[in-house]
Protein backbone atom coordinates (compact mmCIF):
# COMPACT_ATOMS: atom_id res chain seq x y z
CA UNK A 1 0.00 0.00 0.00
CA UNK A 2 1.32 3.43 -0.94
CA UNK A 3 1.45 6.17 1.70
CA UNK A 4 -0.68 9.29 1.25
CA UNK A 5 1.58 12.35 1.32
CA UNK A 6 0.47 15.98 1.11
CA UNK A 7 1.97 18.48 -1.29
CA UNK A 8 0.54 21.91 -0.46
CA UNK A 9 -3.21 21.57 -1.21
CA UNK A 10 -2.91 18.17 -2.92
CA UNK A 11 -2.84 14.67 -1.49
CA UNK A 12 -0.84 12.03 -3.35
CA UNK A 13 -0.79 8.26 -3.04
CA UNK A 14 2.96 7.97 -3.49
CA UNK A 15 5.02 5.12 -4.88
CA UNK A 16 8.19 6.06 -3.00
CA UNK A 17 10.41 3.33 -4.44
CA UNK A 18 9.56 4.29 -8.03
CA UNK A 19 9.84 8.00 -7.20
CA UNK A 20 13.39 7.56 -5.98
CA UNK A 21 14.33 5.48 -9.03
CA UNK A 22 13.17 8.09 -11.57
CA UNK A 23 15.22 10.93 -10.08
CA UNK A 24 18.13 12.41 -12.07
CA UNK A 25 17.78 10.21 -15.15
CA UNK A 26 20.40 10.53 -17.86
CA UNK A 27 19.08 12.30 -20.94
CA UNK A 28 16.70 14.66 -19.15
CA UNK A 29 17.30 18.40 -19.76
CA UNK A 30 18.87 19.25 -16.38
CA UNK A 31 20.83 15.99 -15.99
CA UNK A 32 24.38 16.95 -14.95
CA UNK A 33 23.73 20.48 -16.25
CA UNK A 34 26.35 23.06 -15.28
CA UNK A 35 24.62 26.12 -16.76
CA UNK A 36 24.44 29.33 -14.73
CA UNK A 37 20.88 28.69 -13.53
CA UNK A 38 21.34 25.03 -12.56
CA UNK A 39 24.46 25.90 -10.57
CA UNK A 40 22.62 28.82 -8.95
CA UNK A 41 19.70 26.55 -8.00
CA UNK A 42 21.91 23.87 -6.44
CA UNK A 43 23.62 26.52 -4.30
CA UNK A 44 20.46 28.40 -3.29
CA UNK A 45 17.27 26.32 -3.52
CA UNK A 46 17.19 25.79 0.26
CA UNK A 47 17.03 29.58 0.78
CA UNK A 48 14.37 30.09 -1.92
CA UNK A 49 11.79 27.37 -1.29
CA UNK A 50 9.67 27.29 1.87
CA UNK A 51 10.83 24.66 4.36
CA UNK A 52 7.42 22.99 4.43
CA UNK A 53 7.40 22.57 0.63
CA UNK A 54 10.93 21.14 0.64
CA UNK A 55 9.99 18.67 3.38
CA UNK A 56 6.89 17.53 1.47
CA UNK A 57 8.83 17.10 -1.77
CA UNK A 58 11.55 15.10 -0.01
CA UNK A 59 8.85 12.87 1.52
CA UNK A 60 7.63 12.24 -2.04
CA UNK A 61 11.11 10.99 -3.00
CA UNK A 62 12.07 14.12 -4.95
CA UNK A 63 15.80 14.92 -5.22
CA UNK A 64 15.76 18.71 -4.79
CA UNK A 65 19.37 19.07 -5.96
CA UNK A 66 18.54 17.54 -9.34
CA UNK A 67 15.44 18.91 -11.06
CA UNK A 68 14.24 17.34 -14.30
CA UNK A 69 14.34 20.70 -16.07
CA UNK A 70 15.27 24.24 -15.09
CA UNK A 71 15.48 27.42 -17.11
CA UNK A 72 15.05 31.17 -16.91
CA UNK A 73 11.87 32.17 -18.74
CA UNK A 74 11.63 35.87 -17.90
CA UNK A 75 12.37 38.62 -15.45
CA UNK A 76 15.59 40.57 -15.21
CA UNK A 77 19.17 39.75 -14.24
CA UNK A 78 18.42 41.05 -10.73
CA UNK A 79 15.02 39.32 -10.44
CA UNK A 80 14.99 36.33 -12.79
CA UNK A 81 11.90 34.19 -13.24
CA UNK A 82 12.67 30.47 -13.29
CA UNK A 83 10.75 27.34 -14.18
CA UNK A 84 11.87 24.27 -12.27
CA UNK A 85 10.24 20.88 -12.78
CA UNK A 86 10.52 17.79 -10.63
CA UNK A 87 8.77 14.43 -10.88
CA UNK A 88 7.41 11.80 -8.56
CA UNK A 89 5.38 8.63 -9.07
CA UNK A 90 1.92 8.21 -7.62
CA UNK A 91 -1.69 9.22 -8.01
CA UNK A 92 -3.31 12.53 -7.15
CA UNK A 93 -6.12 11.74 -4.71
CA UNK A 94 -7.40 15.26 -4.17
CA UNK A 95 -6.49 18.90 -4.62
CA UNK A 96 -7.20 21.95 -6.71
CA UNK A 97 -7.72 21.65 -10.44
CA UNK A 98 -4.81 23.06 -12.41
CA UNK A 99 -6.83 23.72 -15.57
CA UNK A 100 -9.01 26.79 -15.85
CA UNK A 101 -11.32 27.39 -18.78
CA UNK A 102 -12.50 30.76 -20.01
CA UNK A 103 -13.53 32.33 -23.32
CA UNK A 104 -9.90 32.13 -24.51
CA UNK A 105 -9.61 28.40 -23.84
CA UNK A 106 -7.90 26.23 -21.24
CA UNK A 107 -4.84 27.38 -19.34
CA UNK A 108 -2.79 26.26 -16.38
CA UNK A 109 -3.53 27.97 -13.08
CA UNK A 110 -0.59 27.90 -10.69
CA UNK A 111 -1.29 27.61 -6.99
CA UNK A 112 0.35 30.54 -5.17
CA UNK A 113 1.91 29.54 -1.86
CA UNK A 114 0.56 31.72 0.99
CA UNK A 115 3.22 34.19 2.17
CA UNK A 116 5.34 33.19 -0.86
CA UNK A 117 3.34 34.80 -3.67
CA UNK A 118 6.42 34.78 -5.89
CA UNK A 119 6.20 30.94 -6.10
CA UNK A 120 3.53 29.18 -8.14
CA UNK A 121 3.08 25.40 -8.21
CA UNK A 122 1.18 23.04 -10.48
CA UNK A 123 0.83 19.31 -9.87
CA UNK A 124 -0.44 17.19 -12.74
CA UNK A 125 0.19 13.95 -14.57
CA UNK A 126 3.21 14.08 -16.84
CA UNK A 127 1.08 12.58 -19.61
CA UNK A 128 -1.06 15.75 -19.62
CA UNK A 129 2.00 17.98 -20.09
CA UNK A 130 4.36 18.49 -22.99
CA UNK A 131 7.27 18.96 -20.55
CA UNK A 132 10.13 16.47 -20.46
CA UNK A 133 9.64 13.74 -17.90
CA UNK A 134 11.50 10.67 -16.66
CA UNK A 135 10.63 7.28 -18.04
CA UNK A 136 8.70 4.88 -15.82
CA UNK A 137 7.33 1.53 -16.89
CA UNK A 138 5.75 0.42 -13.63
CA UNK A 139 2.06 -0.05 -13.03
CA UNK A 140 1.71 1.36 -9.51
CA UNK A 141 1.00 5.02 -10.10
CA UNK A 142 2.05 7.32 -12.89
CA UNK A 143 4.66 10.02 -13.32
CA UNK A 144 3.51 13.30 -11.83
CA UNK A 145 5.08 16.66 -12.62
CA UNK A 146 5.71 19.22 -9.90
CA UNK A 147 6.04 22.43 -11.91
CA UNK A 148 7.41 25.46 -10.07
CA UNK A 149 7.43 28.99 -11.47
CA UNK A 150 9.11 31.54 -9.30
CA UNK A 151 10.67 34.95 -9.21
CA UNK A 152 13.95 35.26 -7.36
CA UNK A 153 13.31 38.41 -5.33
CA UNK A 154 16.50 38.53 -3.26
CA UNK A 155 19.10 37.65 -5.84
CA UNK A 156 22.50 38.44 -4.33
CA UNK A 157 24.10 35.23 -5.61
CA UNK A 158 23.47 35.59 -9.34
Output the pLDDT for position 19. Answer: 95
- Domain hosting 139: range is 4-151
Rg (CA), the chain: 15
Flag whether 146 is in a domain. yes
Flag whether 156 is in a domain. no
Residues 143-154 have a mean pLDDT of 92
Flag whether 158 is in a domain. no
pLDDT digits (tens, 9 = 90+) for 1-60: 799 999 999 999 999 999 999 999 999 999 999 999 999 999 999 999 999 999 999 999
**Residue 77: pLDDT band with limits 50, 70, 90:** confident
Confidence check: pLDDT of 158 > 80: no
Confidence check: pLDDT of 157 > 80: no
pLDDT digits (tens, 9 = 90+) for 105-138: 888 889 999 888 899 999 999 998 888 889 898 8
Output the pLDDT for position 138. Answer: 84
d(CA 111, CA 149): 10
Flag whether 28 is in a domain. yes
Confidence check: pLDDT of 102 > 90: no
Flag whether 72 is in a domain. yes
**Cβ-proximal residues to 102 (8 Å cutoff; 6+ apart), any chain:** none
**Residue 88: pLDDT band with limits 50, 70, 90:** very high
Strands of 15-141, DSSP E? 69-75, 80-94, 99-102, 105-108, 111-113, 116-125
Flag whether 157 is in a domain. no
Per the model's pLDDT, the better-predicted residue between 78 and 43 turns out to be 43
Output the pLDDT for position 105. Answer: 84
Q: How many structural domains compose the chain?
A: 1
Output the pLDDT for position 155. Answer: 52
Amino acid sequence: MNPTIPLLEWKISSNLKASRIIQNQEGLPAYNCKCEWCVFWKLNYFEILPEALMAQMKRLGVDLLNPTDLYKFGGTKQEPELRITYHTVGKVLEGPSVWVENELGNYLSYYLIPNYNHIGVVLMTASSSSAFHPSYSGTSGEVLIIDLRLKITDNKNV
